[in-house]
Amino acid sequence: MLVKILIQAVGIVAMAINSLSFQRPTQKGILRMQLVSSLLFAFHFTMIGAITGGILNAIGACRAVVYGNRDKKWARSRWWLPLFIALYLAAYVLTFTVFGKEPTPGNLALEFLPVVGMTVTNISFLLDNERKLRALALVNSPLWMVYNGINRSIGGTVTEIISLISVIIAVIRFDVRKGDRKKNGRGEEKHEGS
């Protein structure tokens, strides 16, 4: 019982770090916090038996290192995106082959949800645009929320709920209000003849 509580506690700590990451104003700041969160979630998911989630989070930690170093030549390679997507798909296949999860239609669909979520997130990191990164997080979170709920990951499920709220707040803070300032002409983009 104590072990189960500790495993869920790791997920809750990962949840807190992940949720706060979207409040960072820069992409690099978001990625640093998500690196730590991914490592904790990799451990958490593996320990609760959600193997796909564990593998995907371990890959996610590597991804955060790569995209957090985009100012370096090695991290700007165009091959990272297809490599990570191939690794996500490999994690999916390994879940049913090496790790022996029964390939029922329900399991096949469930285990594919986080693969799609990770792919969407991966694409968002390549955009080099915090606004689009936050928008694509709105796609990722519902997919992981279903996966986490079915796998009984308290931290994972709450993470996605909080992440959705956090992303919505960040969109309002950094994207909507900025757009409103532009429309109101507060020091930005003044139009002549109006």
Residue 12 lies in a domain: yes
Helix axes 105-126, 51-67, angle to 10 degrees: 10
Range of the domain at 45: 2-184
- 65-79 confidence digits (pLDDT tens): 998 888 899 988 989
Say which residue, 59 or 125, is predicted with more confidence: 59
Residue 189 lies in a domain: no
- 154-166 confidence digits (pLDDT tens): 989 988 888 788 8
* Local confidence band at 19 (pLDDT 50, 70, 90 cut-offs): confident
Residue 190 lies in a domain: no
* Local confidence band at 167 (pLDDT 50, 70, 90 cut-offs): confident
User: What span, in angstroms and rounded, lies between the C-alpha atoms of 179 and 181?
Assistant: 5
Residue 36 lies in a domain: yes
- Distance, C-alpha 74 to centroid of its chain: 22
Can you tell me the mean pLDDT for 58-62? 94
User: What pLDDT sits at residue 193?
Assistant: 44
- 136-153 confidence digits (pLDDT tens): 888 888 999 999 999 999
pLDDT of 190 strictly over 70: no
Residue 69 lies in a domain: yes
Residue 136 lies in a domain: yes
Tally the C-alpha atoms within 13 A of residue 68's C-alpha that lie toward its C-beta.
15
Considering its fold, how many domains does the chain have in total?
Answer: 1
At 71, phi and psi to the nearest 5?
Answer: -75, -10
Say which residue, 95 or 29, is predicted with more confidence: 95
pLDDT of 192 strictly over 50: no
Closest CA relative to residue 164, chosen from 140, 128, 133, 132: 140
% the chain with pLDDT above 70: 91
Mean pLDDT of the chain: 87
Query: Do 117 and 91 form a contact (C-beta atoms < 8 A)?
Result: no
User: What pLDDT sits at residue 189?
Assistant: 43
Residue 194 lies in a domain: no
User: What pLDDT sits at residue 49?
Assistant: 92
Residue 119 lies in a domain: yes
Can you tell me the mean pLDDT for 15-23? 82
